[in-house]
Amino acid sequence: MKVIIFYSGEFGSRVAGNLVNYSGFCISCGEACTQCRNVAPDLGKDIVALVEMPDPASLGDFIDDVEPLLPQNIPAAEIAIVVNVHPDILYGMLPKLKEAGVKGIIGGSESPREMPLGQRKQVEEKAAELGMEAAFAKPFCALRPDPAKPVISSFLKEAKIGDPVIEFTLQKSREGKHSILAANVVRSAPCGSTWFVAKKLLGLEPDQPDLRERISEAHHSYPCTGSMERDSELGDTVLHVGGYIIRDAVESGLAKAEKPV
């Protein structure tokens, strides 16, 4: 599928970098890099444009006239990814995206001020009126494939992004114990952090007392760019919720892993 990305800020750059998977995108392991991302999808050939948008923080909560701020000459694409784009601008972009052939719009938030729930619903409803699918998540790593949105679900499967899923291979270690031999990233958080967390788990024992702390440490070290400001919609910070999501993904994957006898 052809993809166009509209973004502003560091998080948007990370999402784009994860999809392109260019050499040197992830430098978290430094000299200890084992090129684990060599098996990750490379959507570089499918991304038709990266469009940097105005920082919403510089525009105020409401924009009376969005027309001068709308991107012009949007290239043909099937999927539009929007990260940290002012809701009023995004709403105004919808007819233009329809004209460009977009069938699915995907967005994610990393702070309380990005795409509040009411504005997300307005965009989704307007997109549906125009015959497009739309899906938004806060944080972005909470986005799951939805059978009711087949175009978006197909893209998430192709790009291997969304709510993280990890498969583990265990090996016998010390007496009566097992350790993690391999971690296969089936679906990564859109920012790419899942690959780093998975690597940091190698050699650990699934039942060791500090496993959750080790997961959290890796998640922070990538680092997660989620806000530490409390979000009334989530009842917590975006960063904490992102941490719970990767923790649950690891624990779910380990629970399904076969223990060699």
Write out pLDDT tens, residues 95-138. 999 999 999 999 988 888 888 888 889 999 999 999 999 999 99
Q: What is the pLDDT, as a whole number, of residue 211?
A: 96
Which regions in the chain score pLDDT beneath 70? none
Q: Are 199 and 184 in contact (CB under 8 A)?
A: no
Same domain as 85, residue 212? no
> Are 29 and 146 within one domain?
yes
Q: Are residues 133 and 245 in the same domain?
A: no
Supply the range of the domain harboring residue 245.
Answer: 165-256
- pLDDT, residue 62, reads 86
In angstroms, the CA 63 to CA 114 distance is 15
pLDDT (0 to 100) of residue 241: 96
In this prediction, residue 132 carries a pLDDT of 98
Give the domain-ending residue among 112, 131, 159: 159
pTM here? 0.91
- Long-range CB pairs of 54-59 (<8 Å, 24+ gap) are 54/8, 54/86, 54/89, 55/8, 55/9, 55/84, 56/8, 56/84, 56/85, 56/86, 56/87, 56/113, 56/114, 57/113, 59/86, 59/89
Are 119 and 85 within 8 A, CB to CB? no
Residue 23, pLDDT score: 76
In a domain, 261, yes or no: no
d(CA 176, CA 192): 34
| pLDDT score for 189 | 95
Residues 154 and 170 in one domain: no
What's the pLDDT score for residue 201?
Answer: 96
Residue 228's CATH number: 3.30.390
Is the residue at 128 inside a domain? yes
What total of structural domains would you count in the chain?
A: 2
**pLDDT at site 236:** 95
pLDDT of residue 32: 79
